[in-house]
Structure 1
């Protein structure tokens, strides 16, 4: 699903505020409990809302799952902002850790023993890549769907008018940026005010240039064999500094939020947009608009194609729940409900990964941009972990996502790439210290 983990850097609110927020179980502040009846087991489910995943979606999806698990009721708790990890930690600190949580980063919670793994037999029975989200051999988020993030989306008309072809190499890409700028077009749209969105070019560069050469780089970082300050990683991040210097982004890019960036790109105010495959969903682009856009992976120096791949999923189960079995049964039912994934396919551009249900079986309506992006899922191109976005052993150390995302903004004013990456190494070492 979309942003299987959106982790923007936000200040943590006071616990008293959190406790108050926890009592408000929907985006409007109204309590919403599904399946409540005398003697039922009440579970709490932390969700979040986006243009695709609305309050109505969550209510309906919860109802779908509750029907499959007798004797439960589910109260929805909505994360007040995009940082679901931070909110979950706040709830845990106040003694209100939910029974089921949506789209968190498991590595931020597994060391504390807060999550319950799903059963291997159930995973193997139901998913094309049952170990796609495995951490140390255990899976805490079902691998229900996949994403490619990011793509480089482009405006076909702007490219044609400027005489720009789809770039195959990094040199082609930078030449296209120069040509588009000369034509009076903002070459690349950037939602620079939101760290997770601003980081998309860095995610693309780290995935293509670093993991593309060494798919085991993240595991090597855990083992202390590589560092962020090594030449390959520095060179990848330097490319972003060069893009900034060359005027690839709007001068006010750091003031543009995600919604505005989407609108700017759709309105033809920019030629390219580096964003996740969720952008192909109907919550972001209409079928008519989709026909005017294309997508390609960020080019590498030698033209080899590298696909930043992320196995998505939604539900995680609290190991501290008073009803772990019921919570797990609800999470499993939610993950397998065809109607839930149909909505995610249509609105959020999810690529389904269920073993028993193919994409045509969902009856989902997709657009031409989705179809073009989905073709990469089954392509023979090299697939690597989308840097900073996966929920498996290649997930970054706890807290490092926020540090990496913040780098995307600081590079606009601080061009000391190696110095900033040295701080990232320090943060990593602190996060992994025993």
Structure 2
């Protein structure tokens, strides 16, 4: 509750500061240029300096544009954008939001498909209802299973597991050796859901890649047997004590520190963790996909993107020109690759073209993106037609946290079905 009150206060304060200055204004800047508001977010990797520099570089390519940067008070950009919309201050440009949340309300302008086709490896990778609302600039694997090679060797494990049975056996070996098998930043809801996301992506979407669209069509349910069987795997990890003690109290940032300092052998997290691999002992780390029962390889894939353009902006041409310039700037990709573990998706370029310094585990992980294999939408992370309804991600995260301590799988899945049905009425 304290967190909610602080967030509400931050939102209110931010909205008050934005009053009267969030829409494109042909004469809002002192030099007579068009002022566009741009919603961003900040992380340890994507700092205020990064955004300021990237904005300045893109502005140079678009005459007569001034950008007013807005910073979301949390990483939940969708919620903040909704707050701005409700107060009549919907930004002209919005970074890395979930398009489906806003397209249905008529708030986003699609990109010209010809431009998208010309510049990106998977032009329709994050298309929603046939249109591209955020350029498919990068991709992530959500999650990967990162592992500490030294701790594996200490427990007598010579190679990553291929099957789920192997994975569970390795967890048992690690625990017997006095090593925490799995790190879990369960204090942050999205991080708590990572193991479940990996399992559902591998076991359900690996066999039924259209499951999420079938859920929209009411052909499948969370209470179906295959879902409950997959969720039981996550529950088994918790019941067997394979996560660290007090995992639900560990914040996401601390989970990164715990894993990189050798306090746990494995860490199920999005590939953005690659930006946190310590360079001074990067050779200690490897990565593999969440194992399946039969050992088949399933890659939970999410095509990310840069900025969405408001359908309500007073300057659509200039907003589009700025968004396109920002999205094609190689300097932005260098920061995203090195600091945020992003896999670049620009046409005609290799990693060398970005002049990046990346680890071997990054290169090995990027190979999953480049190779032909079974790629499915990362459960709960898609921005295309497999995106869950607005609000469902929070319900999904809550279920993940609840199932850490509860055997009531059927009850939690029934809650998700109810939340889905309410969200799609």
Equivalent positions of 1:353-392 (< 5 A) are 353-392=345-384
Which of 285, 290, 306 aligns to 1:293? It is: 285
Aligned twin of 2:54? 61
Runs of 4+ in 1 over 6 A off after TM superposition: 12-16
Equivalent positions of 1:71-220 (< 5 A) are 71-164=64-157, 165-220=159-214
More helix by share: 2
Normalised to the residue count of structure 1, the TM-score between the two structures is 0.92
Listed one character per residue, the Cα deviations across residues 342-401 of structure 1 (whole Å, up to 9, x for unaligned) are 111111111111114332211111111111111111222211111111111111111111
3-state SS of the aligned residue for 1:154? Answer: strand
Kindly state the Cα deviation for residue 418 of structure 1 after the two structures are TM-superposed. 1.2
Kindly state the Cα deviation for residue 39 of structure 1 after the two structures are TM-superposed. 0.8
The worse-fitting range, judged by mean Cα deviation, of 367-376 and 203-212 is: 367-376
Equivalent positions of 1:11-50 (< 5 A) are 11=4, 18-22=11-15, 37-50=30-43
Tell me how far apart the structure 2 counterparts of residues 142 and 278 of structure 1 sit (CA, whole Å).
19
Tell me how far apart the structure 2 counterparts of residues 112 and 268 of structure 1 sit (CA, whole Å).
47
Q: Which runs of 5+ in 1 are unaligned?
A: 1-9, 26-34
Aligned twin of 1:315? 307
Q: Is the 8 A contact 1:15 1:94 kept in 2?
A: no
Q: Is the 8 A contact 1:266 1:289 kept in 2?
A: no
Q: Is the 8 A contact 1:19 1:94 kept in 2?
A: no
Tell me how far apart the structure 2 counterparts of residues 86 and 256 of structure 1 sit (CA, whole Å).
24
Normalised to the residue count of structure 2, the TM-score between the two structures is 0.94
Tell me how far apart the structure 2 counterparts of residues 13 and 190 of structure 1 sit (CA, whole Å).
25
Tell me how far apart the structure 2 counterparts of residues 332 and 19 of structure 1 sit (CA, whole Å).
31
Tell me how far apart the structure 1 counterparts of residues 124 and 255 of structure 2 sit (CA, whole Å).
35
Q: Is the 8 A contact 1:123 1:142 kept in 2?
A: yes
Does structure 1 residue 352 correspond to structure 2 residue 344?
yes
Does structure 1 residue 258 correspond to structure 2 residue 252?
yes
Tell me how far apart the structure 2 counterparts of residues 344 and 143 of structure 1 sit (CA, whole Å).
14
Listed one character per residue, the Cα deviations across residues 170-221 of structure 1 (whole Å, up to 9, x for unaligned) are 0000111111111111110000000011110011011000000111111111
Q: Is the 8 A contact 1:127 1:355 kept in 2?
A: yes
Equivalent positions of 1:223-238 (< 5 A) are 223-238=217-232
3-state SS of the aligned residue for 1:376? Answer: helix
Tell me how far apart the structure 2 counterparts of residues 87 and 304 of structure 1 sit (CA, whole Å).
40
RMSD: 1.7
Q: Which runs of 5+ in 2 are unaligned?
A: 19-27
Kindly state the Cα deviation for residue 18 of structure 1 after the two structures are TM-superposed. 3.0
Matched residue count? 413
Aligned twin of 1:331? 323
Kindly state the Cα deviation for residue 321 of structure 1 after the two structures are TM-superposed. 1.3
Tell me how far apart the structure 2 counterparts of residues 144 and 12 of structure 1 sit (CA, whole Å).
35
